[in-house]
Amino acid sequence: MTTCPLVVAPPETTANVTFDKTMDDRIGEVMRRYPTRRAALLPVLWLCQERFGWISPGVISAVAERLGDSPAFVDGVVSFYTMYHTSPPARYVLQVCTTLSCSVCGGRELVEHLKAKLGVGFGEKTPDGSFQLVGVQCLGACGNAPVIQVNDDYYENLTPQRLDAMLDELREGR
């Protein structure tokens, strides 16, 4: 399994966003699935996050205009969910499960290990911008605890040794 690094558009280029033809077509395709325009909001935000790497205020304005909602409404929705990045993320976002099963099966040690190794706390990025450590709630893979989700991929049954190997692999892969 190779996890692809996130491609993140810098804040300067996402201040004012207009959707190009491909993007607009994809949004149109998504909107056809639902009886209301608003219902396409979550999928459209996913498309935007795929395209820009994060949901900037400029993206919110553009999405709000496209779907006919107020930007404040879209902003409220974006902030409700944890998976939309509202600031530019690192290339690899390490989402460590901190909930019960993982926590009692070595997750706590894993977190300590990661914090020490990367030198960052939860919510922080490494100075070189390659890793971001995020503590998340249950990832729904408790049988294979402890679990880390890196970008879109699950890494399960981890030990500090396996984790180190994984991090090295990701680092080389960049």
Min separation Cβ 18 and another protein, Å? 17
- Give dist(CA 117, CA 23) in Å, integer: 39
96 binding another protein? (CB under 8 A): no
Site stretch for another protein (CB under 8 A), options 73-81, 116-124, 125-133, 161-169: 73-81
CA distance 19 to 96: 33
Tell whether residue 81 is a contact of another protein (CB under 8 A).
yes
Q: Residue 125 CB: number of other CB atoms within 10 A?
A: 20
Helix 41-52 to helix 71-80 angle (10° resolution) is 80
Contact between 60 and another protein per CB under 8 A: yes
Binding range to another protein, per CB under 8 A, among 19-27, 113-121, 139-147, 162-170 = 139-147
Q: How far is CA 11 from the centre of its chain?
A: 16
Cβ distance to another protein smaller for residue 79 or 159: 79
Selected from 51, 113, 115, 154, the binder of another protein by CB under 8 A is 154
The β-bridge partners of 92 are 131
Is 65 near another protein (CB under 8 A)?
Answer: no
Q: Give yes or no for a contact between 29 and 61, defined as CB atoms under 8 angstroms apart.
A: no
Lookup result for tokens 């911008």: 129
Strand order in the sheet with 153-155: 131-136, 92-97, 148-150, 153-155
Q: Give Cα 143 to chain centroid, integer Å.
A: 23
Is 87 a binding residue for another protein by CB under 8 A? The answer is no
46 binds another protein (CB under 8 A): yes
In the set 70, 159, 168, 174, which binds another protein (CB under 8 A)? Answer: 70
Stretch that binds another protein, among 16-24, 55-63, 111-119, 122-130 (CB under 8 A): 55-63
Binding positions for another protein, rule: CB under 8 A: 33-36, 38-43, 45-46, 57, 60-61, 67, 69-77, 79-84, 95, 98-101, 103-105, 136-145, 149, 152-154
